[in-house]
Amino acid sequence: EKQIGMLADSSETGGVIRIPSTWKNGRIDYVPVDDWVSGFFAGTLWYMYELTGDEAWAARARKHTEILDSVQYLQWHHDVGFMVYDSYGNGLRLKNIPGYEDVIVQTAKSLATRFRPVPGVIQSWDADRGWQGERGWQCPVIIDNMMNLELLFNAAIYSSDSSFYKIAVSHADRTMEEHFRPDGSCYHVIDYSIKDGKVRHRQTAQGYADESIWSRGQAWAIYGYAVCYRETKDRKYLDQALKTFTMMKNLKNMPEDLIPYWDMSAPNIPNEPRDVSTASCIASALYEISTMDVPDAAGYKMYADSIMVSLSSPAYRAALGTNGNFLLMHSVGSIPHNSEIDVPLNYADYYYLEALKRKRDIEKGL
Ligand code: GLY
């Protein structure tokens, strides 16, 4: 509470709400509302409310959520699911605030504009802008996109418009066919032909190599397919989540403290940066999986508990007043882009708090 309280204080100075994303070279980085990580701090504040019951956190969370109002109309990238579901989605779940359902439905409409019916997927990135525009892609889809489907499933319920559900299922199915290798690990980027829907390339953007195991991508797959199972009850999605998790768990180079390297195929392991954001996302997913109809549910919870013990130790959890007042140290944004290497990241904190909340609920029998 103290650490996140200080981070929230410093992001609210001068009557302006800013969005802290990371801390590097002694300074907090703040992002604009259209950045893919813009919803995580609001979501962190909602989890602070849920974990403490203190209404002051809810009031703060609401302010940080509502600065994201314009995201519901954003159509130039796919990350609106992360941005709006972590903020408005949690606000709706916890406080049923009037208007939040409408924001989620409008966001789903914006995301649906990126659905490409021939390949049957949501296009993640535009192919004609930024560094992505230099790769020669037509319809790039990244595994991260699995995390945007939760918003679509829920928008289908709020709006009674089943097209959002159908888009989510189509995306999840095609991704399951094309993104995964026989061992359960996944590629980062699949580029589809817009004309005939065939795969043009299987590549990476943020991993070490096209054929490598970029850790956060595996976390997005595990978490994303667990959500697909929750929302559809189609067992194949849970099987995919478990297969990818089991692959990660059995990697011989997985460190004893269970905090993965940024890429499990990186050449200098064990002298490669860890990625705490991967660990916290996997822990949160495993807590949910441990409540599902799976053999050895307790084993998934135990694995998540072990991750949380590591993350909560001084090796990863920052001392009060350090680390720019983020909770966790040692995450990686993108090594190929020389960006955010061995720093705190707001999404590592977000999934850590979500995992803590899920752990608490399971242990209280909620
Ligand atoms: N979604 C972008 C990332 O995982 O870095």
Ligand 1, closest atom to CA 79? 1
Read off the pTM: 0.98
181 near 197, Cβ under 8 Å? no
Residues 6+ apart with CB under 8 A from 260: 215, 248, 254, 274, 275, 278, 279
Residue located via tokens 């955010």: 340
Alpha-carbon span 16 to 297, nearest angstrom: 45
Q: What residues pair up with 116 in beta bridges, in sequence order? A: 121
Backbone angles phi, psi at 264, to 5 degrees: -80, -5
- 21, 86, 141, 144, best to mutate for ligand 1 pocket (most atoms within 8 Å of CB): 144
- pLDDT for 226-285, tens place per residue? 999 999 999 999 999 999 999 999 999 999 999 999 999 999 999 999 999 999 999 999
Instruction: Give residue 90's pLDDT band: very low, low, confident or very high (50, 70, 90).
Output: very high
Q: Is 144 a catalytic residue?
A: yes
Q: Which two tokens stand for residue 132?
A: 């992505």
Average pLDDT over residues 138-155: 98
Q: How far is the CA of 144 from the centre of ligand 1 (A)?
A: 6
Ligand 1 centroid to Cα of residue 161, in Å, is 29
Name the β-bridge partners of 19: 31
Give residue 222's pLDDT.
99
The pLDDT of residue 300 is 98
Averaged pLDDT, 38-45: 99
pLDDT score, position 61: 98
Residue 97, classified by CB atoms within 10 Å of its CB into exposed (0-12), middle (13-18) or buried (19+), is middle
For position 313, what pLDDT does the model report?
A: 98
Q: Is 351 in the pocket of ligand 1 (CB under 6 A)?
A: no
Exactly one of 29, 86, 144, 191 is catalytic; name it. 144
Model pLDDT, residue 110: 98
For 314-326, the pLDDT digits (tens) are 999 999 999 999 9
Say which range, 96-100, 128-132, 179-183, 189-193, has the weakest mean pLDDT. Answer: 128-132
Question: What contacts 305, CB < 8 A, 6 or more positions away?
Answer: 359
Dist. CA 355–CA 288, nearest whole Å: 9
Q: What rounded mean pLDDT belongs to the chain?
A: 98
Tokens read off for 291:
């409540």
144 CB near ligand 1 (under 6 Å): yes
Q: Tokens standing for 343?
A: 């720093």
Averaged over 186-207, what is the pLDDT?
98
State the average pLDDT over residues 294-306.
Answer: 98
